[in-house]
Amino acid sequence: MCCEMTALTLLDEWWGAGACRDAEPELFFPISAHGGAGSDIRRAKLICAACPVRSECLNYALRHRQEQGIWGGLTDEERRLLRRRLAANGRHSLTPTGVR
């Protein structure tokens, strides 16, 4: 277990550099994509747009099939669509330059 935790920590060090680290977590996990949550989604995406680890975050969400929340600037529905496009091209993640 100790080794697993160390490996996980080393792989996911990017989390500490996320632009979202000081934001309200609820902002990135809206209840719905409709209604009043739309403004929260826009605010979360603005934070993601300026994030230095945006591509790492998105790749993490894709690899671990995160079903909810804003990850790497994409909503759950946007990630589902991206996953389909990547699968059609025989890929499972994006390159660092694949996310702008």
- Of residues 14 and 76, the one with the higher pLDDT is 76
Q: Is residue 10 part of a domain?
A: no
Q: Is residue 53 part of a domain?
A: yes
pLDDT digits (tens, 9 = 90+) for 43-98: 999 999 999 999 999 999 999 999 999 999 999 999 999 999 988 988 766 655 45
* Total tally of structural domains belonging to the chain: 1
pTM of the model: 0.75
> Token digits for 6?
């160390």
Q: Is residue 97 part of a domain?
A: no
> Token digits for 50?
């300026």
Calpha distance 37→12 (Å, rounded): 28
Q: Is residue 84 part of a domain?
A: yes
Q: Is residue 38 part of a domain?
A: yes
**Full residue range of the structural domain in which residue 55 is found:** 20-90
Q: Is residue 37 part of a domain?
A: yes
